[in-house]
Structure 1
Amino acid sequence: MKRAGGKGIDRRTLLVGGGAGVGLIVAWAVWPRSYLSNLSVGENETAFGAWLKIATDGRVTVAVPQCEYGQGVYTTLPQVIADELGADWQMVGVEAAPLNPLYANALGSSALFPDLLPERLRETHAVRSALMLTGGSTSMRQFEEPLRQAGAAARAMLCQAAARRWCVDWHACDTAKGFVVHGQQRLKFGELAADAASERVPDPLDLRGGGDNAGRLSGEPLPRLDGPGKVSGSANFAADIRLPNMVHAAIRQGPVGTVRLASIDEAAARAVPGTLHIVKNERWVAVAANNWWAANQALEAIDPRFEIAGRIESETIQQALDAALDGPGERMEATGDLSATFKGATVVTAEYRTGLSLHAAIEPMTATAVWEDGRVRIWVPTQAPGLARTAVADLLRIGVDDVVIHSMLSGGSFGQNLEFLVAQQAALIAREVRKPVQLTWSRGETCSHDRYRAPSAARMTARLGGNGAVLGWLAKIAAPPSGHELADRLVDGAGWAGLGRTMRGTGDPSAVAGARPPYRIGNLAVDHHPAAIGVPTGYLRGGAHGYTAFFTESFIDELAHVADIEAFSFRIAMLGGEPRLARCLSTVASLGGWQGGMAGSGQGLACHAFAGSYIAVMAEASVGADQRVQVDRLVAAVDCGRVINPAIVEQQIEGGLIFGMGAAIGATTGFSGNIADARSFRDLDLPRLATVPEIMVELIASDNEPGGVSDLAVPPVAPAIGNALYAATGVRLRQLPLIPGGE
């Protein structure tokens, strides 16, 4: 099939063309497809599908398609396979999965880009475009089932191979601790792997049941597979890559709103010892040197000047939010007849605000790139390797097959590494200097060019009944359409964001995610008022739940006081439809020694549901003599369904509580002259070892399917602390970060 002029119509051209695009995509969605594994196999290894390999020494290697940034997927996902396979945990290893549609994360696509495409096409799109994503607390929810299937298939094949040698029925065989067993007969996995690979996978597969847990790995607090390497320093991050003739690059990007690079002092930069190359771009300048310190010093000497359009200040951001809140919005959620409920009634109103929040990951943005013979290889910590590959290919005007992405461990991220700008920059610099380049942003660059969690403003309105019941609820939320921005920025290279723009309204479901209260309220509505603030925003741990939970749980607390009902009882009375959340709330009140939130108690409650999981948090906080918030204790009760590794769940909840505390009292920035005020960790007022409170976490046993965990603990922390401060001081703080006397 050819165009006039002889240029072929490729799949991508077909998908993004004109008004017939939706019909073409529907047709494309039903085309038959089968995908083969491209998992690399060593000389002494045998592959069992796309998910695992078994070596002759019995070592089991699991391919993990998710970015490991501390959340534990390099342990929990292999643990699923190892449990189903009957492996010896001491013989289990892990490696990053290659790009392949078999590893697509459809749940991640829906979580991060909820209105990119109609729901019926999301899974098809994710698979067909090999959309490998890490984010939105989706790893276990997306991959537990295929991993169990893979482990069960390999177990059956190993049992069949052993049964042939023993001349027995393979159904009478089982596996345990790296052996196939039949009575007193035992054979190691490694002895059977080569023969087993040719066996047929039974249909249906027999998955291990949930009865006898003797010898099972699921549910056990197994040690992390990535822990030893991180402790010893042998684990490789992008900044650890060393290549022959490699140079180190530092970069200075223009302020937000930059139009072009206006001038630089090249002579001053070249005078810095070690300086090798200067690479200029319309919006940035980079220096490559024989060490990063020299490159950064040369950037200081180069004194870049940028031409800027528009003015961005803290005041203009707030003005944009105010204008949006007072302007038209789009209804995103609605139940009942709110207009009739509010008509002529006395209502309670309150307004809340949140500032720009930074990711503040320990690892700055970094990537290592090599340009050779029209192809580029990039070592980068990325939560979206396929999207990064496409973006680099588009920028360099080469085919995606000419871009190789090596996914690295990430030092934190919290959503930061969904972005791929640093990979594009490293590729451009490598092509220019014709040498391997390691580009590392300074901490100042990482702070000032973050894709922040959006600032927001909310006007909350409710009507209370005579018995304290909430009869009507309206949440009007002004915030940038961060989900739309993220889709346009990340997915546009694949041609899909443009189509999504034609199908969606002005309201962004990502910008108000989590705003629907979990409580039984007959008449409610949630409106999004899109705000154009001029600052790029993106996804940060917890997403919009980080501010919508603050609005909801702070306002619920205020309504409880207006109704003169104790805050725990007020919530419990409305949680009849959410028994798992009610149990979390009851557990945390009992575990934490809830005293009713009475004046002077310094105790506050909050609860939240996220990604199929439930959490309640009790905080104890006060205001010190220096007028700084002091958090003394955080208690959490969690129901995240069936737990694969309780130790890692507890780590994620504890880390989320501290992360949420950081966002509640700091981790924010203003803007002055189009430049972020925060330039280093010391500007963020993050929790330190001496200020981290006592933390207690209770995991509630559950037989429900596993829910998301990594984002779960972040949203309820800020409202719990805010409610505790009200109980301690009698002053309601309605703005994040919580700064006494700041309103």
Structure 2
Amino acid sequence: MGRVPRKAANRRKQVGGVNRRTLLVGAGASAGLLLAWGLWPRTYRPNLNAAPGETVFNAFLKIDKAGRIIVIVPQTETGQGVTTLLPQILADELGADWRTVGVQSAPISPLYANSLLAKEWLASDWSRLAGEAGEWAIDQYATRRALMLTGGGTSVPMFHDAYREAGAAARVLLCQAAAARWDVPWESCDIDNGIISDGGQRTLKIGEVAAEAADFDLPDILPFRQGQTDRLAGQDLPRLDIPSKIDGSHNFAADIRLPDMLFASIRQGPIGNALLKSVNEQAAKSVTGFLKLVRTDRWVAVVATNWWAANKALDLSDPVFELAGAPVSSASIDVALERAFSGSAGQRLYSQGDLKSLFDNATILASEFSVAPGLHLALEPMCATARIGDGVAEIWMPTQAPALARAAIAGALDMAEHEVTLYPLHAGGSFGRKMDFEAGVQAALIARDMGRPVQLLWSRLEDVVQDRPSAPAHARMAAKLGRNGAIEGWLAKVAAPCAMTQTWDRIAHHKLPHEASRDSAGASTRLAVAGMELPYALPNWAVDHYPAYAGLSLGFTRANAHLHGAFFTESFIDELAHQAGIEALSFRIQMLGGNPRLAHCLTTVGAMGGWQGGIEGSGQGLAVHEMSGAYAAVMVEAALDGGKLSVGRIVAAVDGGEQVNPDIARQQVESGLIYGLALAMGASVPYARGMPTRAILGRMGLPRLADIGEVTVELIRSTARPAGLSDIGAPPVAPAIANALFTVTGQRFRQLPILSRT
């Protein structure tokens, strides 16, 4: 035991048999988890390993005797910068030297549950009606199941306070340890740039007192750092993951190498309920390096001494699958969506005012829109490495849902979850694709069959065929304009399957993709029309959802249903502005009186972009969007040249609250803008006979550097709580482009991708 402070105020405080420090260690001093701690204190203890010389301060921080600050991050780094943002919050409150900060992935634990994403994902109409009780129920469900989820821009909003409190707690404990050495009140001590001082001549390095500091206790009220000088928060600090990515030392899934490791490539059937019928194993054996063909009812894999040999042998084996039911095609998807409008499962999910009496015998303006399913197309295909021993399994893979992935792997191997160790890796791109984890399950089964470590890497073809794209959707939009050009009534009818419901059924309930697609087909949910709750102040409006069975397995994506929701809404708003004879920016502003943050973004982007009023030939288009506490306005300059779309300029103004690292915030928005541009230009394929008709990136019409001109992002200064910005840039880009093209062609583009590709 280290020294115990003399002051009575520093004695341990007991709360229901659990001291306050234990509460802080487990829950980041979050009041929402105090009850859970009182009920299950043992379940919530940190399960961090400490190397010699390291001291565990709480669930988010270790410090070693050399003064290295090791921040524990439960979120998956997919390129969005989360392994810099969360450590920056903690280091700022601790007073650390940024050069001493490192990152370690968190083990699976209820302490790291992302209840914010769980609430967004799982909230039903019932839980909304239940209010706080419904939120509490989802929070407890997420915590009990250790739902460590990355997605939806929730990482910083979810963990901001916990990391700030963890840093503050460590600073207090270190100051207490130093004060005990100096025999001064700990309140007179502080930490700056990694050095503890008492305001006078005495100083200590953090590592010198780290071990003894952990034995002190926190005060009843946790003090936070005061003053704004020399603060790390708000600075454009360099990302912690960049150096290793530049020099090539950063390990992605395909970089893992284990002793005696083999390599595998896999082939699965066409989209739908496909079973393996036959395979030519003799042909596969002709490839040098071939070792074994591993098959199940639904896939076949070839294992070899190198991946090229495995994939070559797999091609020669010519697997044949038998598909139950009609194969999916683009035509069948369109028919299913249109048929949904006449079905009986439609439900009004948003409603305000009285549309029926307003629309009766009135002149209505109407338009129809369609959005094709959008592929993820991450640079890193699905990949996992597995090593199965006697009662022990180890898996190396990137995953946005590690606890659910571990449970699925354990179930497939008929092992207990504690016998499976999952090593979470950074993802080489995801956009939501790594929320699914089938590659980890497959790698584990192949490794068990081989009795040796196996790395499974999907080919690019397999990655495209087996992608879980965003939802296709059709919309019928209708509105009534008043004499002054104001919108008096607005009705949106949307036919779409729900990709998020399908994803949850796969990853949480272990349904096969075709089962999840079929079982969710009749359920109307707000998740399928997210982004269509109007940001504008209209007296009468409604949104109806018509669930559809498109026969396509869909998945979690960047911005999810906001992608088609914003396209429908902002494209139709522009049409109404034109019909009303009102300039598009002013038309929007007159309806944003109750939404000052979005209005500020819109006026800012108009000023920055040199908005010309949407006049004929300007090639300028506008769109706005809000989601999860973030607000964005986008202006683009676009043109058609020889039937090819080009975007010469993108200007975005974003209010995402007080950002921890403005440079990373701009990176996230820029990435979202390009993602939205990709959806407008390509990132989608036609389907025929249960297969995509293209699987080569170069044939998908994706934007190249030559297609993209100047990109400008302005972050609006704000003192609001920080919002995640990884998604907000994507939804408004496509409607802004469609609106811009109208000014140069006189034609409305009501489909995504904007230019159809066969």
CA shift, 1:335, in A, is: 1.2
CA shift, 1:503, in A, is: 13
Opposite residue 701 of structure 1, the aligned amino acid is R
Aligned residue number for residue 670 of structure 2: 654
**Deviation readout 1:161-183 (Å, 9 max, x if unpaired):** 01111111111111100011112
Match of 2:426 among 409, 415, 433: 409
Judge conservation of contact 1:114–1:509 (CA < 8 Å) in 2. Answer: no
Unaligned runs of 5+ in 2: 1-34, 128-134
- Secondary structure of the equivalent of 1:722? helix
Matching of residues 618-637 of structure 1 within 5 Å: 618-624=635-641, 626-637=642-653
Aligned residue number for residue 561 of structure 2: 544
Matching of residues 349-428 of structure 1 within 5 Å: 349-428=366-445
**Deviation readout 1:211-250 (Å, 9 max, x if unpaired):** x321100000000000001101111111111011100000
Opposite residue 162 of structure 1, the aligned amino acid is A
Aligned residue number for residue 29 of structure 2: none
Aligned residue number for residue 62 of structure 1: 71
TM, length-normalised to structure 1:
0.93
Aligned residue number for residue 136 of structure 1: 152
- Secondary structure of the equivalent of 2:612? coil
CA shift, 1:28, in A, is: 13
Determine whether 1:278 maps to 2:255.
no
Determine whether 1:434 maps to 2:445.
no
Opposite residue 297 of structure 1, the aligned amino acid is K
Distance in structure 1 (CA, Å) of the matches to 2:384 and 2:408: 14
Distance in structure 1 (CA, Å) of the matches to 2:415 and 2:311: 30
Opposite residue 315 of structure 2, the aligned amino acid is E
Aligned residue number for residue 209 of structure 2: 192
Judge conservation of contact 2:471–2:496 (CA < 8 Å) in 1. Answer: yes
Determine whether 1:697 maps to 2:679.
no
Q: Would the alpha carbon gap of residues 264 and 438 (structure 1) be closer, same or farther in structure 2, given more than 3 Å must change?
A: same
Match of 1:685 among 666, 682, 701: 701
CA shift, 1:92, in A, is: 0.3
Match of 1:561 among 547, 556, 578: 578
Aligned residue number for residue 89 of structure 2: 80
Matching of residues 226-625 of structure 1 within 5 Å: 226-309=241-324, 310-328=326-344, 329-493=346-510, 506-624=523-641
Distance in structure 2 (CA, Å) of the matches to 1:503 and 1:384: 21
**Deviation readout 1:595-621 (Å, 9 max, x if unpaired):** 000110000000000111100000000
Match of 1:161 among 154, 159, 177: 177
- Secondary structure of the equivalent of 1:492? coil
Judge conservation of contact 1:641–1:701 (CA < 8 Å) in 2. Answer: yes
Judge conservation of contact 2:410–2:417 (CA < 8 Å) in 1. Answer: yes
CA shift, 1:464, in A, is: 1.1
Q: Would the alpha carbon gap of residues 28 and 481 (structure 1) be closer, same or farther in structure 2, given more than 3 Å must change?
A: farther
User: Which of 302-311 and 601-610 deviates more?
Assistant: 302-311
**Deviation readout 1:280-325 (Å, 9 max, x if unpaired):** 1111110000000000000110011111122211111110111013
Judge conservation of contact 1:113–1:510 (CA < 8 Å) in 2. Answer: no
Judge conservation of contact 2:195–2:203 (CA < 8 Å) in 1. Answer: yes
Judge conservation of contact 1:37–1:49 (CA < 8 Å) in 2. Answer: yes
- Secondary structure of the equivalent of 2:225? coil
Q: Would the alpha carbon gap of residues 316 and 678 (structure 1) be closer, same or farther in structure 2, given more than 3 Å must change?
A: same
Distance in structure 1 (CA, Å) of the matches to 2:648 and 2:337: 33
CA shift, 1:469, in A, is: 1.4
**Deviation readout 1:458-484 (Å, 9 max, x if unpaired):** 001111111111111111111112222
User: Which of 458-467 and 217-226 deviates more?
Assistant: 458-467
Judge conservation of contact 2:469–2:554 (CA < 8 Å) in 1. Answer: yes
Aligned residue number for residue 41 of structure 1: 50
Distance in structure 1 (CA, Å) of the matches to 2:526 and 2:437: 23
Aligned residue number for residue 732 of structure 1: 748
Judge conservation of contact 1:448–1:678 (CA < 8 Å) in 2. Answer: no
Aligned residue number for residue 102 of structure 1: 111
Aligned residue number for residue 193 of structure 2: 177
Distance in structure 1 (CA, Å) of the matches to 2:489 and 2:737: 26
RMSD over equivalenced CA pairs, Å: 2.1
Distance in structure 2 (CA, Å) of the matches to 1:687 and 1:159: 53
Opposite residue 468 of structure 2, the aligned amino acid is R
Determine whether 1:214 maps to 2:265.
no
Q: Would the alpha carbon gap of residues 181 and 362 (structure 1) be closer, same or farther in structure 2, given more than 3 Å must change?
A: same
Distance in structure 2 (CA, Å) of the matches to 1:65 and 1:515: 31
- Secondary structure of the equivalent of 2:708? coil
User: Which of 680-689 and 224-233 deviates more?
Assistant: 680-689
Q: Would the alpha carbon gap of residues 588 and 387 (structure 1) be closer, same or farther in structure 2, given more than 3 Å must change?
A: same
Determine whether 1:644 maps to 2:663.
no
Aligned residue number for residue 14 of structure 1: none
Aligned residue number for residue 8 of structure 1: none
- Secondary structure of the equivalent of 2:341? helix
Distance in structure 1 (CA, Å) of the matches to 2:211 and 2:338: 66
- Secondary structure of the equivalent of 1:614? strand
Judge conservation of contact 2:500–2:560 (CA < 8 Å) in 1. Answer: no
- Secondary structure of the equivalent of 2:166? helix
- Secondary structure of the equivalent of 2:196? strand
4+ residue runs over 4 A deviation:
26-34, 501-505
Aligned length: 710
Aligned residue number for residue 725 of structure 2: 709
Judge conservation of contact 1:153–1:205 (CA < 8 Å) in 2. Answer: yes
**Deviation readout 1:131-187 (Å, 9 max, x if unpaired):** 100011100000000111100000000000011111111111111000111122211
Unaligned runs of 5+ in 1: 1-25
- Secondary structure of the equivalent of 2:560? coil
Judge conservation of contact 2:521–2:548 (CA < 8 Å) in 1. Answer: no
Distance in structure 2 (CA, Å) of the matches to 1:175 and 1:32: 31
- Secondary structure of the equivalent of 1:668? coil
Distance in structure 2 (CA, Å) of the matches to 1:432 and 1:255: 25
**Deviation readout 1:227-276 (Å, 9 max, x if unpaired):** 00110111111111101110000001110124311111100001111000
Distance in structure 2 (CA, Å) of the matches to 1:392 and 1:341: 55
- Secondary structure of the equivalent of 1:532? coil
Aligned residue number for residue 127 of structure 1: 143
Distance in structure 1 (CA, Å) of the matches to 2:40 and 2:174: 34
TM, length-normalised to structure 2:
0.91
Distance in structure 2 (CA, Å) of the matches to 1:481 and 1:589: 35
Opposite residue 248 of structure 2, the aligned amino acid is G
Distance in structure 1 (CA, Å) of the matches to 2:39 and 2:611: 56
Distance in structure 1 (CA, Å) of the matches to 2:443 and 2:519: 33
CA shift, 1:332, in A, is: 1.3
Opposite residue 707 of structure 1, the aligned amino acid is A
- Secondary structure of the equivalent of 1:693? strand
Aligned residue number for residue 737 of structure 2: 721
Aligned residue number for residue 15 of structure 1: none
CA shift, 1:53, in A, is: 0.7
**Deviation readout 1:500-544 (Å, 9 max, x if unpaired):** x99998212211111111000121111111110111001111111
Matching of residues 108-119 of structure 1 within 5 Å: 108-115=117-124, 118=127, 119=135
- Secondary structure of the equivalent of 1:732? coil
Distance in structure 1 (CA, Å) of the matches to 2:352 and 2:70: 49
Judge conservation of contact 1:477–1:528 (CA < 8 Å) in 2. Answer: yes
Distance in structure 2 (CA, Å) of the matches to 1:687 and 1:671: 21
Distance in structure 1 (CA, Å) of the matches to 2:597 and 2:280: 63
Opposite residue 282 of structure 1, the aligned amino acid is D
